[in-house]
Structure 1
Amino acid sequence: MVQRKGSSSWEVAVGNATFVQDYSTFWVGVLSDKVEVAKRSVDNPAQSTGISTTRAPKTSTVPPYVPEVEVKAAATDDPIYSGCGSTKSCFGAPDQCLDTKSCTAVTTVQVEGDRYTFEVKGRGAGYAAVALSEDSKMTHYEVIYSGRGSHIVCPRKAPTHANMELNIKNMSCLHSGDDSVMECARDSAQNRPANVYLSYNTGKTNARSSIQRGISFINSSYVNGEVYCRFTRDVVTNISGKIYDLEKNKYYLLLAVGSSLKAAGVAFHDVIYEASSDGYILSEIVTFASVSKLLLRLHGAFMIAAWIGAASVGILLARYFKQTWVGKPFCGKDQWFAWHRILMLLVWSLTITAFVLIFVELKSWSSEDNPHAILGTVTTLLAFFQPIGALFRPHPGSRRRPIFNWLHWLLGNMAHILAIVTIFFAIELSKAQLPEWTTWILVVYVAFHVAMQFVLS
């Protein structure tokens, strides 16, 4: 503020400012025009306004900058996961889905006194079901039925708990109540989104109990393709002649989801199936873990390595490098032949090992309605005999050599094509639990392999 000379009632105000455009462009010490300001005096009544200037005064207050924050609604967790491991036992599929609360299928058990409350939920389902079992398998042995005069094979030794009846007239073996199943099935006939039923697995089949006693419905829902049921079960139940005591006995949990229903029961679990690795008394609060899938994954890995990896390269070597890769012998043989033989022996070893592993894992023939098992068996047989036949190949100058060449080519290509088709069908298996986009990876491989045939030709 500068006071004008000769006057004590007037002052001159000059503004000094700094302007910033960006980090590199700014102005410092910018002076404004001079503004005359008259002092207010209580002794001068003429100054009614209190302030007299040559320019109308402007006052402004710059509000503080408050950045806008996008407020997102808090994600609501599915209440079925609330209390898992603390107030109730939980089991979900696929494995470790409870950590992310993103299970395709999940079941919970909460015990309050003698009240056992179950929840079961499945995504993309016509039904979701949980079974009580004395092992981690869905079945103990196969039920075989035939009409009068037909051949029948019954198990040599049945479990002690099984109620086994031999019906001589119909020649059938009946085993009652291997696994006790609690179904949460869509049922519009009951004016409910879903209803609960008791059923049992007998061998490879499922049947609903004729008397629905021991289970009590609480509520259910069907929202966005997810079926959900909450119900209670009695401590002791008799399911088709077998006693289930939840208080005294340990049980494995078998969790299954299927997209369709039969007339009076559930159809095959084509969405997902999971078994717990251990059995527990249900009054214990635990988080059930899934049974190990090591052998199952080794089976798939070995088959992929054998047929998509080693077999594809071995076939290309024999077909397109027979006349060119002959400069330097390897183990006394042309390079193409030596590597072809190594790769095909690797195919043979991996295929036989994978074939044995899957039977060790399943301990029976596959129950899924899928040609994967039969195609895989045919592929394995062709692969088994192919190198054995190669041991008897005639001398290159023999008149039988062309016949051998054509048969060797035919059987080898048949095995390779069947193997790739079998892998395609494996994607649909519920035990494989593979995402749908796996199909496109196989499509890209097939396209690449066919393209290489044209390029090398």
Structure 2
Amino acid sequence: MELSGLAFAVWMFICLCGPLDGYPNGKIREVCSSMMPHHGSSPQLSPEHIITVNGTEFKPGDRIEVNLSGPDFEGFFIQARDAEHLDSPAVGSFILADQRLSQLLTCGHTKNSAVSHTSKAKKKYVKVYWIAPGDAPKHVQFLATVVKKYKTFWVKIPGAIVSQPNAPSPTMPLHRTSETVSASHPISYLTKPFNASGCGNKKFCIRNPSSCDPESASCFFLSFRQEKSSVLIEMSGPSEGYLAFALSHDQWMGGDDAYVCVNEDHHVSVSTAYLKGRSPPVLNSENALEDVSWRLADGVLQCSFRRNIHLTAHKGRFNLDASYYIFLADGEASEGGLIHKHHRQPLITSGMYNITGLPQDIGGSRSPRLIKAHGALMFVAWITTVSVGVIVARFFKPVWSHSFLFGKEMWFQVHRMLMLTTVMLTSISFVLPFIYRGGWSKQAGFHPYLGCTVMALAICQPLMAGFRPSPHAPRRQLFNWFHWSTGTTARILAVVTMFLGMDLPALDLSDPWDTYMMIGFVAWHVGIDVLLEIHSYCLIRKVEVIEDDRIQILQSLTSAEAEASHHFVNTTMRWYDYLFKTITDTSMAFFPFFCRVICLNRLC
């Protein structure tokens, strides 16, 4: 059983990994008929390479020299076919001139009927020999597929033609290639940017930022315009790598119908794709798009194409007369057009829309609602409720020393209520990213690790408070120290975690003023704490000095003078108490105001 399991795993690895690298070893029998590489993109239109031969006529058994030459290329695939029926099987067989560059393959029932590369090493020239069979057709044409890079290739490049002596003229043009993708879907070039004319009236538009001008270099634009049984799609945005949009049944990646425009060395390829989970999109070699055109200028990538509303013959393509969530993403692409993961959160529509229904002009959000709620709840918990709760416990004891609520000191009840609210908000917020991600996030850096630490410390605080010793117990000082240190550590880590979270793409807080406002608030809070500590220290010292002096003076003063001294003490205490209340009241009023401004304008 163990051996069988290992064999199965190896087989699965070969099956899954093979297509990712194409066919670097040239063993490509799977594409003998189509001669189309499984590279997930469309072939180029204008060949850069040529096929030549050393003669124009042949007889059965003759050896014809065949040469493939042109700019550097990595892979090739050569066949000879009936020139009047280019979709027919390969004819004849080949002999190698250099076994280091080329190898023989068997296509169909004819041995050695094709030649391909042996490695990805760059080459400019390949020579082979073709042996004419006894049942050769009257006219034979050589075809070649050439791969310059992984996603830059030409399919069925028409080559030279050789004919049998006295053969009648062919019944159709000889130099025509049978590559239907290139022939039926020509690519043109856009001459100017798209515009928003007709958005909401004649076509369905998505813009980010909302209502931005697609002629602007900072505007992401996607439009759909129905024309009878097809839809014309326009997409543009600031990207030098790729732009993509997808139709989805939910707001999570996976099982989606995607369309990708990729910049491949200043040439834009447009293709359909399928999203499986959070893996890179699987590009389709069978393209269902028509009227493809593109433009690449000033860092803005534009592409437009047309597709039918219903594509029953193409697996994975959704019908365009239903409602879907719409994703719009951009990112980098490496040399050869390989797509990299987007660095920021894709734009996702807030609801499901029918792009062939009533035309609308909408925006979208790059921050999912669950992530927004996570950030807002954490902000309220660790910037508002916990901050007010700490100030109440630390500085309101003398102010509310004779006030009670439900049989307990008011400061203690308010402190406990605010801290329990903090734990509750943190617990609710803690689970939201796991619900959205469906598990642990590997791209969030230290943020989730610190978040788990803060959650653990937040839970420890009320558990620890449940075992609080009495005020005069010997272990009360130890409890106070642990309670203070745990809470302070949690507050510091929470602030650090929030700063790290603000830089994550899922929250979409790219404006640096968001960070500056957070820094300003933290500085305000630290300053208030320091000021209140200084105030408390000065008040205690002043009272101690006044009390000592008052005792000494009372021993030598008359009753009238003693009453005046007592009035001075009361006046001093009232002044300090007024200053204290002014500072704390201002601080407490500022917390919720600041929270509302941030949450409503940025997070919400």
- If the length of structure 2 is used for normalisation, what is the TM-score? 0.49
Q: What is the CA–CA distance in structure 2 between the aligned matches of 1:253 and 1:281, rounded to whole Å?
A: 10
* Match status 1:421 vs 2:475: no
1:98 to 194, 211, 230: 211
Partner of residue 187 from structure 1, selected from 264, 269, 284: 264
Contact 1:318 1:337 survives alignment (8 Å): yes
Q: What 5-or-longer segments of structure 2 have no aligned partner?
A: 1-191, 534-604
Aligned partner of 2:517 in structure 1 is 441
Q: Which residue of 2 aligns with 1:266?
A: 340
Answer whether contact 2:257 2:316 (CA < 8 A) is retained: no
Task: Report the 3-state secondary structure (helix = DSSP H, G, I; strand = E; otherwise coil) of the residue aligned with 1:395.
Answer: coil
Within 1, Cα distance between the matches of 2:403 and 2:276? Answer: 61
Identity, % of aligned positions? 32
Counterpart in 1 of 2:526?
Answer: 450
Tell me what 1:161 maps to: none
Structure 2 partner of 1:256: 329
Q: Does the Cα contact within 8 Å between 1:221 and 1:227 map onto a contact in 2?
A: yes
Secondary structure, counterpart of 2:259 in structure 1: strand
Q: Is it true that 1:340 corresponds to 2:412 in the alignment?
A: no
Which amino acid in the other structure matches residue 227 of structure 2? E
Instruction: Give deviations 1:118-138, integer Å, cap 9, x for gaps.
Output: 211223663321002222322
2:19 alignment counterpart: none
Structure 1, unmatched stretches of 5+, are: 1-76, 140-177
2: CA distance between counterparts of 1:442 and 1:431?
18
Give the Cα–Cα distance (whole angstroms) in 2 for the partners of residues 234 and 266 of structure 1: 29
Whether the aligned pair in 1 keeps the contact of 2:309 and 2:321 (CA below 8 Å) is: no
Over 3 Å counting, the alpha-carbon distance change for 1:399 and 1:429 in structure 2 is same
Kindly state the Cα deviation for residue 353 of structure 1 after the two structures are TM-superposed. Answer: 3.0
- Name 1:207's counterpart in structure 2: 281
1:329 to 403, 406, 410: 403
Give the letter aligned to residue 439 of structure 1: T
1:247-277 Cα deviation digits (max 9, x unpaired): 5554332122335669722312516422351
Q: How far is the alpha carbon of 1:453 from its aligned partner?
A: 3.2
- Structure number with greater Rg is 1
Structure 1 range deviating more: 384-393 or 194-203: 194-203
Q: Structure 1 195/369 Cα, relative in aligned 2: closer, same or farther at 3 Å? A: farther
Contact persistence 1:258–1:272 (CA under 8 A): no
Root mean square deviation, CA, Å:
3.5
CA displacement 1:368-405 (0-9 Å, x = unmatched):
54443443333233223321221112223334333322
Query: Quick one: distance in 2 between partners of 1:111 and 1:256?
Result: 23
State the TM-score, normalized to the length of structure 1: 0.63
Tell me how many residue pairs correspond in the alignment.
Answer: 336
Task: State the match for 2:183 in structure 1.
Answer: none
Pairing 1:388–2:458 present: no
Counterpart among 351, 355, 358 of residue 277 in structure 1: 351
Q: Which residue of 1 aligns with 2:294?
A: 220
Cα 1:367/1:83, change in 2 over 3 Å: farther
Question: In structure 2, what is the Cα distance between the partners aligned to 1:179 and 1:261?
Answer: 23
Q: 1:120 to 1:100 in 2, by over 3 A?
A: closer
Query: Helix, strand or coil for the counterpart of 1:80?
Result: coil
Report what 1:137 is aligned to: 252
Q: Distance in 2 between matches of 1:370 and 1:182?
A: 30
User: Residue 87 of structure 1 corresponds to which residue in structure 2?
Assistant: 202
User: Between Structure 1 and Structure 2, which shows a larger proportion of helix residues?
Assistant: 2
Tell which has more relative contact order, 1 or 2 (C-alpha 8 A, sep 6+).
1
Measure, in 2, the Cα distance between the counterparts of 1:183 and 1:269: 16
Summarize deviations over 1:74-114 as a string: whole Å, max 9, x none: xxx963312212222212335xx137778742211123234
Contact 2:200 2:359 in 1 (8 A): yes
Give the match's secondary structure for 1:221: strand
Q: Spell out, residue by residue over 1:328-378, the C-alpha distance to the aligned partner (whole angstroms, 9 max, x if none).
A: 232244444333222212212222233345555665555754443443333
* 2:233 matches 1:233: no
